[in-house]
Structure 1
């Protein structure tokens, strides 16, 4: 496998993971009744780590490999940058929002923030996939 094939494969994995969170996990979580939300959020937070850790590790590994081995074309740089933006959105916005949901429970503002940040992560992950595929050409 070449670094660019690895980048495209991981970008596809990352986009699929992010779309599954956006279309399945978060809607299910946010639809929980108020009296069951805290427990559902705790279970979600524990269970999703099994997917988040290897996905983000693969993103970092493939991006690093692609950058280290070159060529650093515009498409490669864009693909890596977009993957990085998803990780930053997660670290700076989604994770703190989950922390607030865990501490305060679901509020309309926190649910809206989580949906908005997650939509941005999904769009960015898909754009990263498009750039990674373009880097193969």
Structure 2
């Protein structure tokens, strides 16, 4: 394994992505769910403002390295495992998590618990995708 190929870079970004997803699942979303109604709008706005650059810093390199890996290592099993997991995470973020956050920004407090349940479910799917992606990266470097 050399640093000139995609495998070590995929392992790096997949590991960072998994760490990010676990932090969101185990720390960020539970803390956000505990915010009382009176502070919700401010807390959610601050969360969205702070997390967006981090999402970009994780997801953009992940997508780029996954694409590089698909081109450079198309016959490797780890490539397709990583791509499948990464695709699940990225697509779930775009199709479910981001729109749910948009709705949470203005939802009445009565709708918030259901939206938060949906967000946590989407996050479980994203975290599973991140695990699969990381496993694919490990297989690729092994």
The TM-score bracket by the shorter chain reads over 0.9
- Name the CA distance, whole Å, in 1 between partners of 2:68 and 2:20: 21
Residues 88 and 125 of structure 2 are in contact (CA less than 8 Å); yes or no, is this contact kept in structure 1? no
Matched, 1:129 2:130: no
Matched, 1:81 2:110: no
Matched, 1:70 2:54: no
CA RMSD, Structure 1 to Structure 2 (Å): 1.2
Matched, 1:101 2:74: no
Deviation at 1:71, TM superposition (A): 4.2
Residues 4 and 135 of structure 1 are in contact (CA less than 8 Å); yes or no, is this contact kept in structure 2? yes
Deviation at 1:72, TM superposition (A): 2.8
- Name the CA distance, whole Å, in 1 between partners of 2:79 and 2:7: 8
Matched with 2:19 is 16
Write out the 4+ residue segments of structure 1 that deviate beyond 3 Å after TM superposition: none
Residues 83-136 of structure 1 show CA distances to partners (whole Å, capped at 9, x for unaligned) of 111000000000111011012145221111011111111122012101110111
Matched with 1:56 is 59
Residues 37-73 of structure 1 show CA distances to partners (whole Å, capped at 9, x for unaligned) of 1110000000001211111111011111111212431
Task: Give the length in aligned residue pairs.
Answer: 137
Runs of 5+ consecutive residues of structure 2 not aligned to the other structure: none
Matched, 1:111 2:110: no
TM-score (norm 1): 0.94
